[in-house]
Amino acid sequence: MRILKKSFGRLKSGEEVIKYSLINRNNFTVNILNYGGIITEIFTPDEEGNFENIVLGFDNLRDYEEKSPYFGSIVGRVAGRISNAKFRIAENEYNLTKNNGKHHLHGGNIGLDKVIWQVEEIFEEECIGLSMSYLSRDGEEGYPGNLNIEISYLLNSNNELEIQQRAISDKKTIVNMTNHTYFNLCGNLKEDILNHTLTINGDQVAFVDREIIPTGELRNIENSVFDFRKGKKIGKDLYRKDDQLIKCKGFDHPFVLNHARKFAVKLEDEKSGRVMEVRTDQPVVVLYTGNYIGQELMLNGKIKSKDYMGVCLETQDYPDAINQHNFPTRIYDAGEIYKAYTQFKFYTK
């Protein structure tokens, strides 16, 4: 097991960005930047043993800086949208950056996806990894409290990638981070993800309005396009005349997970035989099927982008919970530790 590192260029600010490669005994490789904690590539074998990249990204830093729809990045302080870019804690109202119409999305203009993280390399008996830390100052993007954040990426010899998130504030605040990697198990983006089989062990879905803000309604997924409990192809119902799918041009929805089942999510690609299982301690996973990727990007250096080229499985707490009286809401006291854990396990059938 080894960690390699090399320069990936400089930001417009002049700061150097380093690309770290975590390589385990099976040559399973995860490449990660100290900028945004971005996972740029994951190389894993298909059932014939061909190692191919299974995530969406760029081959250059400028595109990550200027054009990225959060490819591979840490997202926060709060993932998803905060409606009307404001919230109250007790008698205090906080106004966040409006970077998505009148709303706040994914931590604002300079969210955690756009900062340089301090990196410590980890070498343990069973795993290697990176411990990435960042101090988000009081008032950054409008959030209260000086927030000390630590994200650890850990890779073991079973081709399991673990993401541990921790944060602690010196003032009452809200935190809800995730990772925004777009997966495509075909390998080297040979085709889109509409033929991937997706299983989500979730019994409810949160409906959203036209601006993708939760309406507060949690609907049972029984007999609906949101029923992924038995596994179905992502493209099976994607073009159905379903009001929610039309509003979002596909799936862009929070699913409430049923933790009684063995895993939260499973993604499979028939042709390559690749499988990814997701386990998490978070109550929700946002399924985003890459509805707005568009045609303007050059992915992985050589592939023209298009919608539905990758699928995001953003494990997290309830979105916009601070403004949704129907959703369980976590407000963190000064000194109270926020913790979240997600594991991505890769194998072939």
Binding site for ligand G6D (CB under 6 A): 69-70, 105, 212, 252, 288, 292
Contact between 164 and 56 (Cβ < 8 Å): no
Cα 160 to Cα 32, 169, 244, 290, 348: the distances in Å are 15, 30, 34, 24, 13
Is residue 308 a contact partner of residue 186, using CB atoms and an 8 Å limit?
no
| Annotated catalytic residue, options 103, 104, 180, 253 | 180
Closest CB to ligand G6D among residues 39, 155: 39
180 catalytically annotated: yes
Q: Which is nearer to ligand G6D, 128 or 284 (CB)?
A: 284
Query: What are the φ and ψ backbone dihedral angles of 122, each rounded to 5 degrees?
Result: -115, 130
Distance in Å, CB of 28 to ligand G6D, minimum: 26
Question: What tokens were used for 346?
Answer: 């890769």
Report the distance separating Cα 221 and Cα 295, nearest Å: 32
Closer CB to ligand G6D, 160 or 252, in the complex: 252
Q: Are 83 and 90 in contact (CB under 8 A)?
A: no
CA distance 191 to 233: 14
Nearest approach in angstroms of CB 70 to ligand G6D is 5
Query: Minimum Å distance from CB 306 to ligand G6D?
Result: 15
State in angstroms the smallest separation of the CB of 208 from ligand G6D.
Answer: 9
Complex with ligand G6D: residue 181 or 300, whichever CB lies closer: 181
CB-based burial label for 306 (10 Å; 0-12, 13-18, 19+): middle
Task: Identify which of residues 44 and 181 has a Cβ nearer to ligand G6D in the complex.
Answer: 181
Spatial strand order of the sheet with 202-208 comes to 182-183, 311-316, 284-288, 252-257, 202-208, 214-220
Measured at CB, which residue is nearest to ligand G6D?
69
Give catalytic status of residue 325 as yes or no.
no
What backbone phi and psi angles, to 5 degrees, belong to 244? -65, -40
**What b/e sequence results for 278-297 when a residue is b if at least 16 CB atoms lie within 10 Å of its CB, and e otherwise?**
bbbebbbbbbbbbeebeeeb
Q: Rounded distance, CA 152 to CA 86, Å?
A: 29
For the CB of residue 84, give the shortest distance to ligand G6D in the complex, in Å.
16
Our CB check for ligand G6D shows the closer of 129 and 214 to be 214
Nearest-angstrom CA–CA distance, 349 and 220? 31
Q: In the complex, what is the shortest distance from the CB of residue 79 to ligand G6D, in angstroms, rounded to a whole number?
A: 8
Which positions are catalytic? 180, 314
